[in-house]
């Protein structure tokens, strides 16, 4: 049984590269050509041209996106810390009253 399985695996291993190579070639033996359509540009004369920048929406700052994230999440982190400390104090006080 092991010999039969080894023979079948060897046949598959030897035949699979040949099958893969035949599938990649075109049937007529020539090269395949692919037609790429022209890009559609939205009514622009120069497709590389860009619209002018609206300077009123430009924000100049020294803060990085990481700094902005930290500034936005710091109040949340402080509130969660104070809530956790409050729960610990409440639990300790309520347990001391039981005894």
pLDDT digits (tens, 9 = 90+) for 54-90: 888 888 888 898 999 999 999 999 999 999 999 999 9
- Count of domains forming the chain: 1
5-53 residue pLDDT tens = 777 777 666 665 555 555 555 556 567 777 766 665 556 566 566 677 7
Backbone dihedral angles phi then psi of residue 81, each to the nearest 5 degrees: -65, -45
The answer to whether position 81 is within a domain reads: yes
The whole-chain average pLDDT of the chain stands at 77
The answer to whether position 67 is within a domain reads: yes
The answer to whether position 24 is within a domain reads: no
Q: What is the pLDDT of residue 82?
A: 97
CA 16, 19, 24, 25 dihedral sign is positive
Q: Which residues contact 58 (CB under 8 A, 6 or more apart)?
A: none
Structural domain for 92, as ranges: 63-99
Question: What is the pTM for the complete model shown?
Answer: 0.38
Nearest CA among 27, 7, 3, 5 for reference residue 15: 7
Q: What is the pLDDT of residue 18?
A: 53
38 vs 34: CA distance, rounded Å:
13
Q: What is the pLDDT of residue 7?
A: 79
């Amino acid at each position: 049984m092991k010999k039969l399985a080894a023979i079948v695996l060897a046949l598959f291993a030897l035949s699979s590269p040949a099958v893969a190579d035949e599938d990649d070639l075109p049937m007529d033996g020539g090269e395949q050509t692919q037609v790429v359509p022209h890009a559609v540009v939205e009514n622009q004369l120069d497709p590389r041209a860009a619209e002018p920048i609206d300077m009123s929406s430009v924000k100049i700052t020294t803060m990085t996106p990481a700094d902005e994230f930290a500034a936005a999440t710091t109040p949340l982190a402080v509130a969660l810390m104070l809530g956790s400390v409050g729960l610990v104090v409440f639990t300790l006080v309520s347990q001391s009253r039981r005894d």
